[in-house]
Structure 1
């Protein structure tokens, strides 16, 4: 590529002002240094040791090379520049531009696009991870809600069971009291029955004793009555 552009580069140097071919280098008209220039987007150019064709070529500069301006010589049409690796020399001013070449701009735009795409991919990955984390969190919340509902149901069941247990305990206590009362009444009734039974036996015993006593008395009186009746018959 450098060989192909060597001819145009030499021709470009040949079109430089005639003053460049003189024995002595014309006095440079210094302009403020600084700023950045770029090699034109057409072909390779030569960088020489001085401002003119008689100076040795230091190197060939390619399209889009970034150069630091040291000074400009408006009379000779050359600009002293410094490359990024520190080489310093003179090039024709008309082959310098104030902005990068279209190819360099395209490469930079592609690089920027790649960076943007990389950032977009990283953002998409982060978004995907965030969505996955959100899904996991949502699932965890759903699981926790399910466990909460199950525990609440168990609590309600236990609470209802406890209420039933309290009611059953109260009922058992009431039944025990009633049983105790009925037991007391049963004991009283049994005592009364025993008393009545004893009283009845006593009455029967007394009645039997009375009958026996009456029979005994009658047995004692009957002979006297019979004898007396006989005496009455005989008299």
Structure 2
């Protein structure tokens, strides 16, 4: 075998081994067709591959690369349709989508932050109102306690006054009973004194004439 053929064979094996581990992408062209051969006159195996579609490298030649599509179709495509990295257009679209998502997320986060701040303000206002209500209720409670203490003092004083009134009533009743007893005793004394006076007058009325008669008799006898 000529040395030239051996060298070409080895180079083809090396290129084939390297190609099996590589991935290329459809370049910045909207649609690409995969064909059975390296000529544009051969039948298209798959059409309409969009830019950025990853293709598995199967074999390389001077100006074409044999690839396998994501659907499993195998064919040749010109190298100028391929890129070793994801195409710029797809990267830009991806970045624009990520930027749009980030912007939307930022807007949503800002809206949520605004809502949270509004809720915090409402809660602070509610807390302030509750504190005012609590202070008012505490003031009313203190007033109620003061009124209760006054009422208890008045009740205590009324109980003491009622006891004093009851005691005065008892003392008055005792005084009335004593006065009645004294009045009865005085009436009895006056009655006895009147009776004694009357009896004494009666005796004097009887004895006085007798005494006069005795004096007269004595005078006569003398």
Superposed pair shares fold, TM > 0.5: yes
TM-score by length of 1: 0.68
Once structures 1 and 2 are overlaid, which stretch shifts more, 33-42 or 206-215? 33-42
Deviations, residues 172-230 of structure 1 (Å, cap 9, x unaligned): 32222212221221121112111221122122212212221221122112212433555
2:172 corresponds to 1:186? yes
2:54 corresponds to 1:67? yes
Q: Residues 51 and 91 of structure 1 are in contact (CA less than 8 Å); yes or no, is this contact kept in structure 2? A: yes
Q: Secondary structure at the match of 1:119?
A: helix
2:113 corresponds to 1:127? yes
Q: Counterpart in 1 of 2:4?
A: none
Deviation at 1:70, TM superposition (A): 2.4
Deviations, residues 74-123 of structure 1 (Å, cap 9, x unaligned): x4232122334444322233442222333222211111112112322332
Q: Cα distance 1:176–1:43, how it changes in 2: closer, same or farther (>3 A)?
A: closer
Rounded Cα–Cα distance in structure 1 between residues aligned with 2:19 and 2:44:
25
Q: Counterpart in 2 of 1:40?
A: 27
Rounded Cα–Cα distance in structure 2 between residues aligned with 1:136 and 1:44:
57
Q: Counterpart in 2 of 1:176?
A: 162
Q: Counterpart in 2 of 1:108?
A: 94
Q: Residues 68 and 82 of structure 1 are in contact (CA less than 8 Å); yes or no, is this contact kept in structure 2? A: yes
Q: Secondary structure at the match of 1:100?
A: coil
2:150 corresponds to 1:160? no
Rounded Cα–Cα distance in structure 1 between residues aligned with 2:57 and 2:32:
18
Deviation at 1:154, TM superposition (A): 4.8
Q: Counterpart in 2 of 1:49?
A: 36
Q: Which runs of 5+ in 1 are unaligned?
A: 1-26
Structure with greater helix percent: 2
Q: Cα distance 1:143–1:85, how it changes in 2: closer, same or farther (>3 A)?
A: farther
